[in-house]
Amino acid sequence: MYNRRSLLLHLHASPHMTRGLLRKILKFDSSLASIMKLSPSDITSIFHIPMPRAISLAEHLRSIAYKNDNLMKEYATVTIFDEEYPEIYKTIPDPPLVLYAAGDISLLKKVPALSVVGTRKPSVNAYSCMESLLTPLITAGFTIVSGLAVGIDRFAHEIALRYHGTTIGILGSGFHHIYPKANISLFQQMLQKNLVITEYHPDTRPQKFHFPERNRLISGLTDATLVIEAKARSGSLITVEQALEQGKEVFAVPGSILNPNSEGCHQIIQEGAKLVRNTQDILRNWPEY
């Protein structure tokens, strides 16, 4: 009656679902055909979750809302079963099973692409540094991927838009709860010719743990990640760790030893990240350019 794509979307939309549980369900039955027949007792026994959660999940599975999960007319959905799903995500350890998308989903497969991350409180020189490094890449056809946060992320998207390039923003919340709110206008601007994606259902409010989760999708969508400015302990370095786990290249821009935002970059350069002095240092990763 229902195909596995629509079943996956319905399961993913459950407020009682986690990525880990959804992976267990797919491992139990990759077709998802049997999940609708399971009782709460079955769910508890098979997937080792508490009975109250199992009851809620079973109720969601059988709810009339299922018929509406095909889904929001205002957003596209891309599942791991779809042709539109980027193959590069299938190479990372924890690929997203469902993506909600607004904008041009063809950009999910556009190459080459570069992830750009950094501090939310950049120095006064950060924008000019990024403009110098990124503009030649953008005009050469690179897609710029970042997290639609304030600071370096915002600069990366704005530079791509300014020079008529392509850019993808990856949210740590659902589309109905854009965070930070200061970037709502940038989000709306990006929808016109570019792309914003999230693995969170549109009704999902931002939670602190979402952003480290989201970071793996920023690094995972490209072959390399560029760190502009980052403190020694920062979300940017979490992205670097995930990029390395994914087997991706990492670039870092050095800075003044007096600037705390350079500490993270200097640290990862010491650990093996490629030092970036100019755009050519990045382009060497793509010999065809």
Domain residue ranges of the chain, discontinuous segments joined by +: 4-70, 87-283
Predicted confidence (pLDDT) at residue 278 exceeds the cutoff of 60: yes
Predicted confidence (pLDDT) at residue 67 exceeds the cutoff of 60: no
Digit-coded pLDDT (tens) for 18-57: 999 999 999 999 999 888 888 999 999 999 999 999 999 8
Mean pLDDT value across residues 95-108: 96
Digit-coded pLDDT (tens) for 113-148: 999 999 999 999 999 999 999 999 999 999 999 999
H helices of the chain, in order, are 4-12, 19-28, 40-47, 51-61, 126-139, 152-162, 184-193, 210-220, 235-245, 263-270, 279-283
Give pTM, 2 decimals.
0.93
Under a CB-based contact definition with an 8 Å cutoff, are residues 271 and 241 in contact?
no
Tell me what pLDDT residue 41 has. Answer: 93
pLDDT-based confidence at 2, cuts 50/70/90? low
Give the separation between CA 145 and CA 148, rounded to whole angstroms: 9
| Residues 17, 175, 194, 5, CA torsion sign | positive
Tell me what pLDDT residue 282 has. Answer: 96
The structure tokens listed for 165 are: 């390039």
Report which DSSP code applies to 180.
Answer: S
Mean pLDDT value across residues 142-156: 97
Under a CB-based contact definition with an 8 Å cutoff, are residues 253 and 229 in contact?
yes
Tell me what pLDDT residue 70 has. Answer: 47
Mean pLDDT value across residues 236-255: 94
CATH of domain 4-70: 1.10.150
The structure tokens listed for 148 are: 């639609």
Mean pLDDT value across residues 192-215: 94
The fold of the 87-283 domain, in CATH, is Rossmann fold (3.40.50)
Query: What average pLDDT is seen over the chain?
Result: 92
